[in-house]
Structure formats: structure tokens, C-alpha cells
Amino acid sequence: MERNVTFHQFPAGNHSLTNFTCSRDNVLKTVVFPVLYAVLFLLGLSLNGVAVWVFFRIPSRSHFIIYLKNIVVADVIMTFTFPFKVLSDSNMASTGLRVFVCRVSSVLFYLTMYISILFFGLISIDRCRKTLEPFRGTNSTRLARRKLLSGAIWAILLILCLPNVILTCKTPTSKYFKCSNLKTEAGLFWHEVVNHVCQVIFWGNLVTVIICYTLITKELYRSYSRTKSHSAGGTICRAQGGTTTRAPQTAARKMNANVFLVLAVFFVCFVPFHFARVPYTMSQTRGVLFDCRLKLFFFQLKESTLFLSSLNSLLDPLIYFFLCKSFRTTLFKTLRLPPAFMMVANNTSNLSSACVTSSDVTIDVAVSYLFLLLFPIALLFNGVAAWVSLRLRSTSTFIVFLKNLVAADLLMTLTLPPMAAGMLPGAAVGLKAFVCRYSSVIFYCCLYTSIALMGLISLDRFFKIVRPWGKVLGQDVTFSLVMSTLVWVVLFGSTAIPTIILTNRDPVNNTTGDFCMSLKGPAGLTLHIFVVLFMETIFWLISMLIVFCYICITMKVLQSFRNSGSNNSQGKKKTKLRVFLILLVYFVCFVPLHIMRLPFTLYELFNITVCTEMWVVNVHKVVLWVSTTNACLDPILYIYLCREFRDKLVDMMKAGGICVGLYSGENEDVSKDKNSVASREN
């Protein structure tokens, strides 16, 4: 079960260019993934620590709880393997520690991954049985059998993985080695066998999960159809005991959201990796069939999809919260939250009046003030950026895209005050309606205009540095003007204007559910779904484009240093740092929002008024503010990354009598090497 591969950068002059080209020590492996895994370790340790703390206060009185406890243990073990991967991939580990990663840490990672997959399959079977046979009880004998089954799963997978530890027994002959170099012939054969067994485990469980949740959904709709004539859809029915229960339609909607959550985690986290793993394993165990570049490609593909699989350890605690009522109840009791939370956790609360707690009001006020605090900073930074960019001549495609990016950030900044005021408790209905119809629509359009322009800038840099083909393929200023105009027209013409037109209902102050959705008619709601899916698709496609382009740019710049015989380590570090900063700002600002936007849209459309879903609203508000910080960070990136922008800013400040000491030597190290293509980066 090979997870980590170590293959250090060879000193210049000792190896051929092929070795350099095929070296696995690129910025993706040594910089990007270590940072991502370090963040994942901190977040995963926190969330899974809370999950352990809560679950082991819950008695194992159901199959569901037993399975979830096993997943928690597996996730905690997986989380503790991340620091070893960070040290190994960043080349900060000793040879002994890298050997430990190959022999033990990576084996534990895969062991816990497939244990989680198996228990998710068992959970889907248990949920299906509970839905189809709701009156079948659970006794001590059945619980004992499930505990034995859980122990058997751990034992069988441990026995399956143990040979990977024992047969990875070769001593490394140098400090430059791969994990496969430590395996014996029998170890390589067993590694391939285990890979195929794990593929069977995953695909079998995926089919099981899909079938079970399909049956669950069908049964819920049958139940809803049978009871529809006895209760109005979407209303609250009062039981004989005096407690309030949600109508079948709302319960069905909530279950659909839960089904979507489980399937989304399965597909996003595990499917890409299991497509990539088979060819990668073959490239390691049957190396003669693959050349160096193909091995490198499969390695990078495997590492990228492996990180998605690692995200499962972070997403599982969210599944516990939304799917397990006992988990929510115990968590709320342990944290001593207000009674409203407890009532909701037991499904005894009323409408959204019970959901509007003091903590929700606090979050509204806090996020509102954060927006107001961000506004003057963003206005100052983007005002200066606009002042400088207007004095730059549009002599290159990069400057054209940069000017449009400044305009989008400045326009987005101007929407912040009304959005902040509309979030405050007690805001006027007219103000909230204005925010829904105009401010938030313009905000999102500017946000995605910025994202699209960042994608165009990365593509422009790619063709400028990696494929320098003169004026073709987007290197013409007229073409950049056309593309920039097209981005504005498409986003505002196809999303903003229709949304403004179809948000045409009169506002009502006592509306339950989401206020903005109450202003939309059926056509407006349909358009809203289309717009959200369209924007999500744009974001993830552009994200892949940006990562690909900047990794290629970095590899090309570093290769140019090697070709020229330059030993400019400072220039190489600056190149890696620039790429790291771009990717860090992009992903920190935008990824959390786009992870939360789909569940938040489900909340908006289905008018879910249960307090557990209010967490989705509150988290969405926070990550929305995080995405807005991009308007402050972009001007800093202009100064750091764009030489023309920086030089013009320095000249204008000097002309105004301002003493400046801005660093203006971004390409000093690169310019020392006349043969380096890196000098064309800006």
C-alpha cells in the first residue's frame, strides 16, 4: 500500500536533464501538498477529537452507533499519519523517518481508509433495513453480533495489510529512494494483490451505498404519498402529546439532503482516487512498461486524488452531526447549549422561532461588523489599485486582465455596506429586499468575474512562459479585451440581470425560511438553481486550470535555471513562493465558500426551518466573509507579482513626495540568467 514516495532533487551536473524533468520533487509535492496536509491535520484533529469526546459518552445501543464509533477510530488514526507525510514530502524527514512512512504510516493510512469505506457500506445497509422494516427492534444478541463483525473487519484488514509491512524490508542503498525500492519481489506482488482487493472493497461498497439510499428515498416518497391526504405539505403537525413534528414532506426533504451528503462524500473523496490508483500501482510494480514521464504523471495524479480521499477524515464529523441525532443531543448537552438546541436535536421544536437563538444573533452581528471592518480596507486598497492601473497602458494581455480584475474587486467592495446592514437583526424589510435584489446579486457576479479573470491570467502566463508562441493562443491584446468583455457580459447578462428581474415578489417581514427566496417566484427559484450549479461548475473548472497552469509555470522556470547551469537557489525559492502564495490565497478565500454553497442552497430552496440546518446558514455567512477578503489580498498580490504595477506605484508615490521602500526586484534573480524563460513571467 504505497502512499508516500521520496525522490530527492539531484545536484546539478550529476544527472541528465531527463532525471530533472522526471523528478518528483516539484512544487506540488514539496510545497503545496505539505501545506494542505498540515492544515488538514489541524482541522481533522480538532473535529475528530470532538467526535471521539462525544461518541464515547454515547452507549452502544444501536448498530448505527457501533459503526460510527469504528469510523471515528479509523479517522483519528488516519489523521495522525498526516504529519509524517508532511515531513516526508517536504524533504524535512530523515532517511529513517521516510522508511517508517513507507513501512508503517502509509499502510495505516490505507487500512483506515478502507475500514471507513466498509463501515459506510454497513451503515447504508442498516439505514435501509430501518426504513424498510421500521418495527424490527434491536436486542443484545444483534448488538453483540455487530461488535463481532466490527472486530472481524479490523482483524481481516490488518492481516491483509501486515505483509506490506513485513515485505517492505530492504535497506535503502542511498537517500534517494521510492517506497517500491524497499519492497522485495514478493512485496511488490502482494502490493498489487492488495490493491486489487481494495478496489473490489470500494466498488462493492459504492454499489451497496447507491442501492440502499435509492431504496430509502423510494420508501420515503411512498410514505409521503400515503400520508399526503392527511396533512398539508410542508406544514407542522401537532402530535397528541402536544409536541410538534414536521410534516412528511419536510422529513423527506431532510432525508434527501442526508442522502445527497453521504453520496457526495463518497463520490468526491473516493471515486477519483480509485480511478487513478490502478495505473499508478502498475507503474510501480511493472516499471518496464512505463517511461519516466508517464510514471511522473501517474504519481502526480495519484497524489492529487489521494488528498481528496484524505478529506474524508474532515468530512466524516459533519456526517455524524447531520445523520446522528444521538451525536447532536450529546454534543449539545456537553456544551450546555440553550434549550432551543436541545429541543431541535430531539425534533420537538417549532418553526424558525426556536432556531433564532442568541448565538445566531451574535453571528449575524459579528459577521456584519466584519464586513463593515473590511469595507474601508478593501476600498483603500482597491482605490489605490484602480488609481495605478488606470495609469498603466494596456500593452499586454496581462495588464488588460489585471485592470478588469481591479474593476471587479472595486465593484464588489461597494456592495459590502448594504450587505452588512442587511445582516443586522432588526434591519428594515426594504433594505433586506434591496440586498436580495441588487447588492448580493452584484456581489456574486463580481466574485465570479474575479475568479474567471484569475483563470484567464493563469492561462495567459502559461502561454507566455510554458508555450511562448508569440501572438497566437490568447497573446493578443485585442483578444484579451474580447475575452474580458465576454466574461462581464456572460456573467451579468445570463445571471445578474435575470435574477434581478425574477426577484419580483413583495417582501414580507414575517416570512419563515430564507427571506431572499421568498422574493422569488417559481421561475426565479428555477433560475437560482441553474445559477448556483453554473457558478459551482465555473469555479471548480477554473480551480483545476489554475493549479495546472501554475504548476507547469513553476516546473518550466525551474527547468530554465537548470538548462542555463544557474545555481540561483534564491530565485528558485522566490518562484515557488510566488506560486504558493497565489494558490494559498485562491483556495483559502474561495474553496470553503464553494464547499458550503450547495448545502446552503438546499436550505434556501427547501425552507428547512430546523436549528440543525441553521448551522449551515451560519457557516455560510462566515465563509462568505472569508471569500470577501480576496478583495483586500488581490492588491497585495498585484504589488508582489506584477513588476509593471509595482514600478508604476513607486513612481506615482515618489511623484507625490511619499518616501517609499517597496521591493522592486522581483525578477532580479531571474534577469541574471539571460537564457531563462522566467524573465517573461511578468
**Res. 613: pLDDT tops 70:** no
**Res. 260: pLDDT tops 50:** yes
pLDDT at 510: 53
* 257 or 219, higher pLDDT: 219
Q: What average pLDDT does range 82-103 have in this prediction? A: 86
Take residue 582 and report the three cell numbers written for it. Answer: 497565489
Q: What average pLDDT does range 147-166 have in this prediction? A: 92
Q: What average pLDDT does range 458-462 have in this prediction? A: 82
Q: To which H or E segment does residue 295 belong?
A: helix 292-310
d(CA 31, CA 470): 31
Domain ranges of the chain: 17-228+244-336, 342-680
d(CA 202, CA 193): 14
Query: Which residue in 409, 438, 402, 363 sits closest to 627, CA to CA?
Result: 409
Residue count (the chain): 682
Q: What is the residue-averaged pLDDT of the chain?
A: 76
Q: Which residue has the cell 511578468?
A: 682
CATH number for the domain running over 342-680: 1.20.1070.10
Asked if residue 157 lies in contact with residue 115, where contact means CB atoms within 8 angstroms, the answer is yes
Beta bridge partners of 244: 238
pLDDT at 17: 38
Question: Quick check: helix, strand or coil at residue 245?
Answer: strand
Q: To which H or E segment does residue 577 belong?
A: helix 569-606
pLDDT at 135: 65
Asked if residue 498 lies in contact with residue 418, where contact means CB atoms within 8 angstroms, the answer is no
d(CA 102, CA 164): 9
Q: To which H or E segment does residue 238 belong?
A: strand 236-238
Q: What is the CA radius of gyration of the chain?
A: 28
φ and ψ at residue 245, rounded to 5 degrees = -130, 155
Q: To which H or E segment does residue 655 belong?
A: helix 643-655
How far CA 106 is from CA of 113, 198, 282, in Å, comes to: 11, 14, 18
Query: Which residue in 579, 393, 395 sits closest to 480, CA to CA?
Result: 395
* DSSP H stretches of helix in 133-184: 140-166
Take residue 236 and report the three cell numbers written for it. Answer: 407542522
pLDDT-wise least confident of 199-208, 373-382, 556-565: 556-565
Take residue 49 and report the three cell numbers written for it. Answer: 477529537
pLDDT at 112: 93
d(CA 322, CA 336): 19
Percentage of the chain exceeding pLDDT 70: 73
Query: Which residue in 60, 29, 54 sits closest to 306, CA to CA?
Result: 29
Instruction: Enter the DSSP assignment of 101.
Output: I
* DSSP H stretches of helix in 139-247: 140-166, 185-227
Q: What is the pLDDT of residues 33-63, one digit of tens each?
A: 887 888 888 888 888 888 888 888 888 888 8
d(CA 433, CA 382): 27
The answer to whether domain 17-228+244-336 and domain 342-680 are alike in fold is yes
Give domain 17-228+244-336's CATH number out of 3.30.420.10, 3.40.50.920, 1.20.1070.10, 1.10.10.10: 1.20.1070.10
**Res. 113: pLDDT tops 50:** yes
pLDDT at 117: 92
pTM of the model: 0.53
d(CA 662, CA 77): 47
Asked if residue 172 lies in contact with residue 181, where contact means CB atoms within 8 angstroms, the answer is yes
Query: Which residue in 391, 390, 416, 415 sits closest to 404, CA to CA?
Result: 390
Give the pLDDT band (50/70/90) at residue 340.
very low
pLDDT at 679: 37
The vertex-639 CA angle with 635 and 645, nearest 5°, equals 100
